Amino acid sequence: MTAHHHPDHHPDHHPDHHRAAAARLWHALKPFPRYPLVTPGTGSHTALPALSADLGITLTLMRDDVGAYGGGGNKLRKLEYLLGAALEQGAKTVITVGAVQSNHCRLTAAACRRAGLEPHLVLVRMVPNTTPDYVNNGNVLLDTLAGAVLHYVDTAEEARATIATLMQTLDHPYYIPAGGSDATGALGYVQAVAEILDSGQHWDLIVTTLGSGGTQAGLLAGYAAAGVPQRILGLSIGYTVAEATPIVATDAANTLTLLGSCANAPAPWIDDRGKGEGYGIVSPAGNDAITAMIRQEGVFLDPVYTGKAMGALFSAVHDGTIRARSRVLFIHTGGFPGLFAYQPFLTPVQAHG
């Protein structure tokens, strides 16, 4: 870890500098069509006094789990720009892909209904879980209520073939990759950077869960385009560091190109200690973090993404990777319906009266 100046002594951390940088980002985003899905409350901040005291840092949640559509979640930020592009291109149907319990697929279905588009979800049975709750509850129930057309497949190869067929047979289709993680989707997190800079607050570290990689890529691209140095940590819940690094780096570079920026994003800082046995498989540390967050702060995390990432954050504080007294902003990306899908694996000690 390299030492750095106290933030108050760094000219880049002056609120006026941040607001000027934010204005540059808003200007760069202006040409891109956007379908409005982000509403007041999304991106608001929740202080965590009890956990902060336990950890010896100042930990704050950025509430990207809060939203007006589809149950909320960070993919609404990406979908603003993705559906904006789809509608501009005259799309009538949207195809996307994810795991059976994909939050991204659920939010795509809801956002498409709001925008008058027909959602087709290619759901890959990639997680070794066949419990009734996983198969039918949580996001699958919500996908069904939204009237999404569900296409189940067993492998990534089958998914690619199904997507190719749908692209040829559906009416004016628009394809959104897994997690909405491409340069267009990442614009949603360039916008999030503009919002953070507009607030004038300084963070020693911004932490996000790393699933498909687009959120961290958008943050990296946003700060690079703004010309503001910011440490950003991606806590992977599936990929290894070696797998995730080129995905995030490429997505960040593509996003800067799309923005017309000549800036280069720094190499992504990724930690995979929280991935456990792999994507969609709950972990003891993740379950402990879910329990700690709701019992000490009244906020629910989820078993696939934010719980595992928060467990990794606790570990990173304890071993000094995240320095004591740091001001840390953790982006709560959502995933609440996953709690119902993973019910058999979430068995904290009961409190009996």
Kindly report, residue by residue over 176-233, the tens digit of the pLDDT: 999 999 999 999 999 999 999 999 999 999 999 999 999 999 999 999 999 999 999 9
pLDDT higher than threshold 50 for residue 282: yes
Kindly report, residue by residue over 288-346, the tens digit of the pLDDT: 999 999 999 999 999 999 999 999 999 999 999 999 999 999 999 999 999 999 999 99
Active site residue 102: yes
Average pLDDT, stretch 59-69? 98
Q: How many CB atoms lie within 10 A of CB 266?
A: 15
Distances (CA, A) of 312 to 104, 288, 303: 22, 11, 13
Q: What does the pLDDT read at residue 349? A: 57
Q: What own/partner pairs with CB < 8 Å and gap ≥ 24 does 128-133 have?
A: 128/281, 129/280, 129/281, 129/342, 131/344, 133/340, 133/341, 133/342, 133/343, 133/344
For residue 302, which amino acid is it?
A: D
Q: How many CB atoms lie within 10 A of CB 201?
A: 14
CATH of region 11-70+183-339, choose from 3.40.50.2030, 3.30.70.141, 3.40.50.1100, 3.30.360.10: 3.40.50.1100
Exactly one of 102, 212, 236, 283 is catalytic; name it: 102
- List the CATH code of the domain at 75-180: 3.40.50.1100
pLDDT higher than threshold 50 for residue 236: yes
Residue ranges per structural domain of the chain? 11-70+183-339, 75-180
Pair 144, 151: CB distance under 8 Å: no
pLDDT band at 15 (very low <50, low <70, confident <90, very high): confident
Do the domains spanning 11-70+183-339 and 75-180 agree at the CATH topology level? yes
For residue 286, which amino acid is it?
A: G
